[in-house]
């Protein structure tokens, strides 16, 4: 049996384009797109932790996922996700006003906050992106 099997998966265009943009600008230092997808899967295998934020997004209505994916593509192509500053911003917005939120509380709040930001971005992209810069 060969070491690798060719499989086909469906990746939303904005997600793929965001990954490719980060490969092209050097944010991700993989030698190819294929190596990046494998590297991200290996990272998960090394870390071995659940991803409650991305799981929550995966369980959202497909139209809400599309809004988030389009927003994340914009964030990635503008370099706003570098070194975790974007997710830190989302977390800060999600917990503002919360009284000492737990890690679980944060991960429950972040997907909804991300969706709110993405919807606001659709209405007024420059204002939202200015707030992130």
pLDDT at 78 over 70: yes
Q: How far apart are CA 122 and CA 18, in angstroms?
A: 17
Per-residue pLDDT at 83:
58
Per-residue pLDDT at 61:
97
Q: How far apart are CA 114 and CA 133, in angstroms?
A: 16
**56-74 pLDDT, tens digit each:** 999 999 999 999 999 999 9
Sorted by sequence, the CB contacts under 8 Å of residue 30 that are 6+ apart come out as 23, 36, 39
Q: How confident is the model at residue 20 (pLDDT cuts 50, 70, 90)?
A: very high
Residue of 32 and 102 predicted with greater confidence: 32
Sorted by sequence, the CB contacts under 8 Å of residue 121 that are 6+ apart come out as 71, 74, 128, 129
Phi first, then psi: give them for residue 33, nearest 5 degrees. -60, -45
Its pTM surpasses 0.95: no
What value, to the nearest 5°, has the Cα angle with vertex 65 and ends 55 and 111? 50
Token match 């997907």: residue? 111
Alpha-helical runs (H) found in 26-102: 33-47, 52-58, 62-77, 85-95
Phi-psi region of 27 (alpha: psi -120 to 50; beta: other; left: phi over 0): alpha
**In the chain, where are the structural domains located?**
13-132
Q: In the chain, what's the furthest Cα-to-Cα distance?
A: 56
């Amino acid at each position: 049996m060969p070491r690798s099997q060719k499989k086909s998966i469906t990746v939303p265009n904005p997600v793929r384009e965001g990954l490719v943009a980060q490969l092209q600008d050097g944010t991700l230092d993989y030698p190819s797109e294929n190596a990046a997808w494998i590297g991200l899967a290996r990272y998960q295998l090394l870390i071995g932790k659940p991803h409650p934020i991305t799981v929550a997004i995966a369980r959202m209505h497909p139209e809400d996922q599309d809004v988030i994916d389009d927003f994340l593509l914009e964030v990635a192509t503008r370099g706003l996700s570098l070194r975790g500053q974007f997710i830190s911003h989302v977390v800060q917005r999600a917990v503002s006003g919360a009284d000492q939120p737990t890690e679980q509380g944060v991960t429950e709040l972040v997907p909804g906050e991300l969706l709110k930001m993405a919807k606001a971005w659709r209405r007024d992209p420059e204002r939202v992106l200015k707030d992130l810069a």
